[in-house]
Amino acid sequence: MPKGLIIKALSGFYYVEEKETKKIYECRGRGVFRNQNITPYVGDRVTFQIESNDQGYVTEIDDRTNILVRPPIANVDQVLLVFSAKKPDFNQPLLDRFLTVIESDGLKPVIILSKMDLIESDELADFIKYYESIGYMILKESKYDQQSIDKICEVIDNKISVLAGQSGVGKSSLLNAINPNFKLNTDEISKALGRGKHTTRHVELFKVCEGLVADTPGFSSLDFRDLDIDCDLLAQSFVDFFVLGSKCKFNMCTHINEPGCAVKGKLNQNVVFDNRYKNYKDFYNEIKETRVIYQKKQKEK
């Protein structure tokens, strides 16, 4: 039976690109997946059975290298996080929230700052300097001209990438700039709400340059209740805290209440770092509270 890649999932159908011919087949999942509580995801490499009229059934799913629940996609090489400098305003807490999830899944994040022409040149300079110093790649974009498109293509070539970030920051605009034939919907920012409308409705892999990119629904929030992250291991998803943690007095320091904490020792020296620590502490308390609620519900059963 032929093998292929699921490039789109919509209304119970999986659109599989056959590996050799690149022809696309509209497939259903076999009942065995439902019985095993398995859902085929975009990005899955699968074996499928062709029935007729370019339709068929997914029969097997290859082992996955990774899987994201939100957005639902598998075998991702990297996540392109698009955040705007303005309209909507740059949101460091949400960026750190995304980075936490991406790092916990062992994926590579690439930060794309859009609409840089709407702010003064030094407005985000401290943020950019700090995040680059801890190892994050940051692409700074104003208009998507050919030079910036070439730069982005170098990053996504020969990879499966997820395009994610806050609503209204220009994710669909980026794909349209690279290939106008996409004609993705790019609604205007909602002036009344001060945030973008959710213009992308499903997950789909697009051929972009020499790679594949998934445009995903925009999120103005990301709920840790949907994710398997342990608060005691949260610091491992903050790359700068993880490095500093080796200098803490106690092994497995959570950087919350312990004395001799090297992370807390760096506070009040860098505004960006201080904001990042505040986000870390908020996430820690949120995850801990979620765990307490879950354990309480389990006891009540």
- Residue 88 belongs to domain with CATH number: 3.40.50.300
Q: Which residue has the higher pLDDT, 189 or 220?
A: 220
* CA gap 301, 285 in Å, rounded: 25
Residues 234-274: tens digit of each pLDDT: 999 999 999 999 999 998 899 999 999 999 999 999 999 99
Rounded mean pLDDT, 212-230: 66
Q: What range defines the domain where residue 197 resides?
A: 68-215
142 and 234 both lie in a single domain? no
72 and 55 both lie in a single domain? no
108 and 174 both lie in a single domain? yes
Residue 180, pLDDT > 80, answer no
174 and 234 both lie in a single domain? no
166 and 96 both lie in a single domain? yes
Domain end (from 63, 81, 96): 63
Phi/psi at 249 (5° precision): -65, -35
Smallest CA-to-CA distance from 174 within 236, 110, 224, 108 is with 110
39 and 150 both lie in a single domain? no
99 and 207 both lie in a single domain? yes
Whole-model pTM? Answer: 0.82
Residues 122-157: tens digit of each pLDDT: 999 999 999 999 999 999 988 778 888 899 999 999
25 and 138 both lie in a single domain? no
Residues 106-117: tens digit of each pLDDT: 889 999 998 999
Structurally, the chain folds into a number of domains equal to: 3
Contacts of 65 (CB under 8 A, 6+ apart): 74, 75
Domain end (from 165, 184, 215): 215
